[in-house]
Structure 1
Amino acid sequence: MLVLAIGGVLAYTQIGVMPAEPGPLAEVRDNSAITVTDADEGIVLEPADGDSERGLVFIPGAKVDPWAYAAPLQGLAEEGITVVITRPWLNLAFFDPRGLDDFTSAAPDVESWAVGGHSLGGVRACQLATAADALVLFASYCANDLSDSELPVLSVAGSEDGLSTPEKIADARPMLPADAELVEIDGASHASFGDYGPQAGDGEPTLSEKEMRAQLTDIVGGFLLSVPR
C-alpha cells in the first residue's frame, strides 16, 4: 500500500504539468536588455549590464513550468532587478525544503532579496519570508501568520481570478502586516500571472497579455525598488 501511495503521489506531480507557451518564451530569449541563465539554483533573469542590487526569488505555482513566468517577470530585470525563478521539487512548492540561500546564491552581488510566488508558490514564499527583506504575493495568500512582522509585503491579485479569488485573498488579509499593500489588477485572471494557457476553474481575463505585463512590472518593480536596503 505504501508503494502504491508513493507511486500515486509521484504520478500526480508529473501528470498535467502546464507548459510554458513558446511564443512569449522566445521573446524573453531574444530580449537584448536582459540576460537569461539556466542555473543550478533556477532560471536567472538579470539586466544585461549586470548592474543589479535588488533581487526577487520567485516560486512557481503548482505544476506550472517555471519557464512560464519568464516573460511576465522579464520587465523586472529590465528595471534592474535580478529574478531567480525556482524549480520546485516534484513541481510542487510544498515538497521543496530548500531555504532562501539556496536560490540567492545564484546572484551573490545582489544586496537585498525579496521572496515571492504565484498561487501555491506564494504560500511557500510566506514560509520563507522571515529570511527575506520583503514578500510579494502573486494571486496568492499566506497560511502562516506574518501579522506581527515588520516585513514589507505586496499582494497583487486579479479581479477575474477564479482560484485565488479576491474574497479568499481578503479573508487571509489578517495574516499579513497591517501596512501590507494590496493591489488588484482589473481584468486579470489567475493564469494572467504566467504564460501557460488557460487553467481549469479560472475566470476569463479581460486585459491583454501586454497590459498585464506592463502593470505587473510597474506595480511589483515600484514596490521592490522602494524596499529599504
Structure 2
Amino acid sequence: MRGFMKKLLKKILITLVAFFMMIAIGFGIYVSDYYKPNHNALEAIRSDNVIKVYNRDSYFLFKGKDVKAGIIFYPGGKVDERSYAPLMRLLAKEGYAVMLAKMPLHLAMFGLNRANDIKKDNPKIKRWYLGGHSLGGAMAARYLSSHKDFEGLFLLASYSTSKLPNHMKCLSLYGSQDQVLNRKSYKKYHHNLPQSTKEIVIQGGNHSQFGNYGFQKGDHKASISYNEQQAQTARAISSVF
C-alpha cells in the first residue's frame, strides 16, 4: 500500500510540475510578443532644442522650459512605452513635465504603483495628473481610487472598474473607429467616473493611433493620421487640465 501511494504521489507531483511549466512557457511566449515603437516614435524620444528627454530607471521624462504641472502616463498592455513618445512630446509642448512609465513585461498591472516612485523622484512638482491608454488607463484609474494626491485623470480608450471621487477632474477619449475598446464595459463602468467627466470622441480615430506601434489586432482602420489623432488628444488634455 505504501509503495502504491508513493508511486501515486510521484505521478501527481510530476503532473503538477509539467502543468506549471507549461503555464510558465505559455506566459513567457505571451509577454515576449508585444507591440514595438515605429521610426517616428524612436525619433520623438530624442532631445532637441524644444523638448529635453531624460531616460530614468522607471520612466522617460519629457520636459520643456516652462512647466505648469506633472503628468504620469501608463502605457497600453503589451506595448513598448517608447511608442507613446510622440504624444508625450506634444503634451510637454503644452507645458507639462511628462513622465512615461516603464512597466514590467509591458503590462501596467505589474507596475500599478509606479506613480509613487515617479512622484518621489520629482518633489518640485506640486500639481499632478495621471493618464493611460487601454489597460494602462484602467490601471491608472485603479491607482487613483486609493490615492487622492492627484488632481485629475485622463483615459484614452479605457474605463475605470473602480469608483473615483467626484471632485476629481476627468477626461475620457476614444476614437470613433475603435474596435478594440469594449463598448459594453465602457458603458457599464461609466458610473465610476466623476459626474463632471468630459467625454470626447475623436472622429476618424481608432485604438492604435494613440501610440506609434502599428496597427493593433482587432482594430478598425483610422480615417485620420497618427499626427491628427494625437494632436487632438494633446489639445483635449490641455484644455481640461
**With structure 1 as the length reference, what TM-score do the two structures score?**
0.89
Counterpart of 2:34, as a letter, is V
Q: Which runs of 5+ in 1 are unaligned?
A: 225-229
| 1:25 corresponds to 2:42 | yes
- Once residues 62 and 156 of structure 1 are traced to their aligned partners in structure 2, the CA distance between those partners, rounded to angstroms, is 17
- Aligned pairs for 1:195-214 (under 5 A) are 195-214=212-231
- Say whether residues 1:87 and 2:105 are aligned partners: no
Higher percent of residues as helix: 2
Residue in structure 1 matched with residue 21 of structure 2 by the alignment: 3
1:186-201 to 2 correspondences below 5 Å: 186-201=203-218
C-alpha spacing 1:64/1:99, structure 2 compared with 1 (3 Å): closer
Cα 1:97–1:206 change in 2 (3 A) is closer
Which structure 2 residues correspond to residues 67-106 of structure 1 after superposition, within 5 A?
Answer: 67-106=82-121
Paired with 1:155 and 1:5, the residues of 2 have a C-alpha distance of 36
Matched, 1:219 2:231: no
Matches of 1:77 and 1:127, distance apart in 2: 25
Amino acid at match of 1:56: I
Name the CA distance, whole Å, in 1 between partners of 2:224 and 2:48.
23
SS at match of 1:100: helix
Counterpart AA for 2:88 = L
Q: Which has the higher mean CA deviation after the structures are superposed, 158-167 or 71-80?
A: 158-167
Aligned to 1:13: 31
Unaligned runs of at least 5 residues, structure 2: 1-18
Letter in 1 for 2:205: A
CA RMSD, Structure 1 to Structure 2 (Å):
1.8
Aligned to 2:166: 149
Confirm whether residue 138 of structure 1 aligns to residue 153 of structure 2. no
Identity rate, percent: 29
Amino acid of the residue matched to residue 126 of structure 1? A
- Cα 1:166–1:186 change in 2 (3 A) is farther
Q: Structure 1 residues 159 and 97, CA, compared in 2 at 3 Å: closer, same or farther?
A: closer
Which string of whole-angstrom CA distances, capped at 9 and with x for unpartnered residues, describes residues 24-71 of structure 1? 431442542111011013011111x2x313011100101101000010
Aligned residue for 2:227, secondary structure, equals helix
* Equivalences, count: 220
C-alpha contact 1:159 1:166 (8 A) present in aligned 2: no
Q: Does 1:124 align with 2:139?
A: yes
TM-score (norm 2): 0.85
Residue identity matched to 2:37: A
Q: Which runs of 4+ in 1 moved over 6 A?
A: none
What is the rounded CA distance, in whole Å, between the counterparts of 1:109 and 1:63 in structure 2? 32
Question: Which residue matches 2:63?
Answer: 46
**1:159 corresponding residue in structure 2:** 176
Structure 1 Cα separation of the partners of residues 93 and 78 of structure 2: 27
Q: State the secondary structure of the residue aligned to 2:52.
A: strand
C-alpha distance after superposition, 1:160-179 (max 9, x if no partner)? 00011555433321111111
Give the whole-Å Cα distance in 2 for the aligned partners of 1:24 and 1:143: 30
Task: Classify the secondary structure of the residue corresponding to 2:82.
Answer: helix
